[in-house]
């Protein structure tokens, strides 16, 4: 006996983009996570390119697990970005979020014994971000609090030792 095997090819692919820190900010190297699903909400593996509105290829990307991945690039104010993906239904384009003229970006990375964080600010209206507060919480308890003075620096790096912290989700707020 042979069993019939059918594969359903997704007709519609939904591709969502999630910039680290919530926004794309002009001139700040940004990590943008993405998630691809089909019309039934099932993860779909994708690969494609990010293009600017003038047709220039900015970066390539590929999902690494369950339709999830990340891509990194430095957005420019006034430009719009789209992702081009080849799907079973043909080439599709998806818009990326609008680039903000000014703002800050928080990047968090694992390091031995804790977390390394980098705060970057855009050039435009940078004086609005001269003095910031970084607060980290676990289970609604403050475990780290620091006033950050940028002075003339475009970015600041800090470290948070997590070895002695209770387990839970570490939530950073700027």
Q: What is the pTM of this model?
A: 0.81
Tokens of 18: 């999630």
Tokens of 33: 């996570």
pLDDT of residue 75: 96
pLDDT of residue 142: 93
Counting as low any pLDDT under 70, the low residues of the chain are 1-11
Which residues are CB-contacts of 22 (< 8 A; sequence separation ≥ 6)? none
């Amino acid at each position: 006996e042979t069993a019939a095997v059918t594969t359903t090819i997704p007709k519609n692919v939904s591709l969502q983009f999630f910039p680290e820190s919530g926004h794309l900010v002009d001139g700040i190297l940004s990590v943008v996570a993405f998630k691809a699903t089909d019309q039934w909400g099932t993860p779909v593996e994708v690969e494609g390119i990010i293009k600017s509105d003038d047709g220039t290829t900015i970066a390539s990307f590929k999902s690494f697990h369950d339709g999830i991945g990340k891509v990194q690039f430095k957005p420019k104010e006034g430009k719009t970005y789209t992702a081009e993906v080849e799907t079973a239904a043909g080439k599709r384009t998806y818009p990326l979020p609008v680039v903000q003229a000014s703002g800050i970006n928080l990047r968090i990375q694992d390091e031995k014994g804790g977390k390394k964080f980098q705060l970057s600010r855009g050039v435009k209206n940078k004086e609005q971000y001269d003095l910031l507060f970084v607060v980290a919480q676990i289970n609604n308890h403050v475990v780290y609090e620091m006033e950050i003075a940028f002075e003339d620096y475009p970015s600041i790096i800090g470290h948070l030792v997590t070895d002695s912290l209770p387990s839970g989700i570490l939530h950073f707020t700027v």
